[in-house]
Structure 1
Amino acid sequence: MKKLLVFALFSLCINTAQAQIFSGERVLNQQNFDQQRWSWGYFLGLNSYDFNFDYKNYNPSPLTGQDFAVETRTGFNVGLVGNLRLNNNFDLRLEPGVNFNTRGFQALRADANTYREISSTYVHIPLLVKFNANRLNNFRPFVVGGVSTSINLSSNENNPDDNSAGQFRMTTNSYYYEIGFGLDLYLYYFKLSPSIRGVFAINDELVRDADPNSLYTGNVEKMSSRAIFINFTFQ
């Protein structure tokens, strides 16, 4: 599903660019849009979250080659956009939003049922720098990067129960760096910007179990989220 979404977005960008370049179109939509000092909008999108693990002692399962299995699923993003024009090619953007996602998690080095379903609701706040290429007819490619923080409203960080009672716990606050690319499409009534972005956590997000030899947390040096966002921004 994730690969299909990435392919669909990439195909949309390529097909639109080809249409603009070879059609000879010269009627420009939203001609003065990029001259505004401030602009506002909103975005809707999809996400896919995963975990990355660093181990104290790497001793994976001989059958699978790993200690844990993570089942990724497609989630949903929604939020607002505030854009500050710095010059013709650079913008500063704030994109506060809410992300909903569910991941499946399982420890593999055990005979017992170790599956956990981890549902997360993130208040996600990125501060991004957007580099815009020069506009060609009614499209404009861009790359974007920056840093972000999020509040996991479903973290269970302060829950006294741990995995021995079936509770998988994560930190409430996380910090990330982000990088991606996209395309501004200047339509008759608004600007549409499909984009794809990689999001990578910097800090350790795992709350350890009370048992230092816990199957879930004992051998983990660091656990951090990573994600792919596919957003459609309307301005």
Structure 2
Amino acid sequence: MQKKFFISVCLMFISWNVLSQRERVENLPSFDKRRIHYGFYLGLNTNGFKVAYKPSAFNNPQIEVTSEVGFNVGLIADLKLHNNINLRFEPGLISNTKVLRFTHITTPGQDTREVGNTYLHLPFIFKFSTNRLNNVRPYVLGGASFDYNFSSNERNQNDNFGGQFRQTASNLMYEVGIGIDLYLPYFKFSPSIRGIFAITNEVKYDERSPSQWTDPIDFMGTRGIFLHLSFE
């Protein structure tokens, strides 16, 4: 699913690029002279978990993750550092739902957990752009973020023994991406695709041990792909 998502977005970028090269009128000619500007973004995401395992009392542990397409929305504050370098703060919300299937658990009803996540996403991102060509300006970006998971259930006293999969509320992540600025008559539209990856372990271990759900997990962290549509 993630491969199809990635290919579709790449084709969209190529189509926009071809159409923009035909443009002869330079839109928003003084836009990039601003020291600071603002905007907002909308987007879709498909998220999963990267899981690493450690020795435990359970043989061949395996967690399969399936996810639904979620959404992301937020604001943009952009500071120009150089003609080709900008520092951006993009606070927003990320929401998605995942289903975890523990293949090493054979008891019906105990082998799956639904995990709904809503993150407050607070990233600082460096944006490296090429020189503008007509109304097109490609770029790459990278940065780090603090993410607070409102639906982590970290403080919930019920753990997996009570049917509740828990995660840590506060996490660190990094993201990288590519995109293209398209200068339209009244605003700048910037589609991009981004990958987001957790740095910290997001699993909240069960209180009792042995736990067939969390004992085998050494690391569990978010990883996903975003389709990011900025309006500035």
TM bucket (normalised to shorter chain) is: over 0.9
TM-score (ref. length: structure 2): 0.94
Q: Assess if the C-alpha contact under 8 Å between 2:70 and 2:95 holds in 1.
A: yes
Match of 1:109 in 2: 104
Q: What SS does the corresponding residue of 2:82 show, helix, strand or coil?
A: coil
Distance, in Å, in 1 between the alignment partners of 2:32 and 2:135 is 12
Q: Assess if the C-alpha contact under 8 Å between 1:146 and 1:178 holds in 2.
A: yes
1:57 to partner: Cα distance: 2.4
Q: What SS does the corresponding residue of 1:198 show, helix, strand or coil?
A: strand
Match of 2:201 in 1: 204
Match of 2:72 in 1: 77
Q: Assess if the C-alpha contact under 8 Å between 1:92 and 1:127 holds in 2.
A: yes
Match of 1:44 in 2: 42
1:17 to partner: Cα distance: 2.0
What is the Cα-based RMSD across aligned positions, in Å? 1.5
Residues 53-72 of structure 1 mapped to structure 2, 5 A cutoff: 53-57=51-55, 61=60, 67-72=62-67
Structure 2: give runs of 5+ residues left out of the alignment.
Answer: none
1:188 to partner: Cα distance: 0.8
Distance, in Å, in 2 between the alignment partners of 1:170 and 1:110 is 20
- Is the aligned partner of 1:224 residue 2:208? no
1:41 to partner: Cα distance: 0.3
1:60–1:144 Cα change, 3 Å: farther
Q: Assess if the C-alpha contact under 8 Å between 1:80 and 1:96 holds in 2.
A: yes
Q: What SS does the corresponding residue of 1:86 show, helix, strand or coil?
A: strand
Distance, in Å, in 2 between the alignment partners of 1:4 and 1:223 is 24
1:78 to partner: Cα distance: 0.4
Q: Assess if the C-alpha contact under 8 Å between 2:13 and 2:180 holds in 1.
A: yes
Give the length in aligned residue pairs: 229
Match of 1:87 in 2: 82
- Is the aligned partner of 1:214 residue 2:217? no
- Is the aligned partner of 1:185 residue 2:185? no
Distance, in Å, in 2 between the alignment partners of 1:132 and 1:197 is 15
Match of 2:32 in 1: 34
Distance, in Å, in 2 between the alignment partners of 1:219 and 1:212 is 11
Moved over 6 A (4+): none
1:100 to partner: Cα distance: 0.9
Q: Assess if the C-alpha contact under 8 Å between 1:89 and 1:134 holds in 2.
A: yes
Match of 1:141 in 2: 138
Give percent identity, aligned residues only: 42
Residues 151-190 of structure 1 mapped to structure 2, 5 A cutoff: 151-190=148-187
